Amino acid sequence: MNKINKLFTNSKDEKLLSLYFCAGCPTLDSTTDVILAMQRRGIAMIEVGIPFSDPLADGPVIQSAATKALKNGMTLKKLFGQLQSIKEQVHIPLVLMGYLNPILHYGIEAFCQSCVEAGVSGAIIPDLPFDDYLNVVKPVADRYDLRIIMLITPETSEERIRFIDDNTDGFIYMVSSASITGTQKSFDEQKKAYFRRIDAMHLRNPRMIGFGISNAQTLKAAQDNAAGAIIGSKFVTLLNETEGDTDAALDRLFEALNN
């Protein structure tokens, strides 16, 4: 069974925490250490960012991390090599998150094959058009048992959400707001109403809420209305501030999530 499906099947009564970081940042060779430290500290699922020069959906924190990773020499080929080197040690789902351009340049078939060889369970491609997903990417990904995760926002129609739910597997990434990534102190009533509205749809796929989660208040709002939460910008900031000391960054993150 795909590790993503296994995670949600085995943790129906748990509230999951998934973290994002950008491969190759703060250093080219830090990727594997970050992953292993997060796994050791109980993170349920890890999103590994593929650095790209024009990350349209990302705020300044993740844009800066991607720029630094590219300057460090990170490439998709190098990333797959790093992940393959720790494949036997990683037992939690790894999900690659990256934009379509470098994946197309690498080749869809080659990308899916390399994911499997490196122990990757899924991919999030924010700028992948859904028609292209259905007609081009999904048939290949399905052959490799790779989950392509789609995003929804407060502006996504109910019809579209149900169509996504019917044609994807793994989980649905609920973007908390139709804006770029970044931290928020709280979610307003409008965002909470959006969470409740999607929850009431009783979708087939579990949902994870991301964008803006950085403290106890935003974490609770996400976990109360979905299978769990995804944190990106806050963790990337802490990882940079601790100069790549993942344990120190996690200590500070867990402290923030309890306040």
Catalytic residues: 47, 58
Spatial neighbors of 117 by CB under 8 A, at least 6 apart, are: 80, 84, 87
Structure tokens at 189: 């009533």
Amino acid at 84: Q
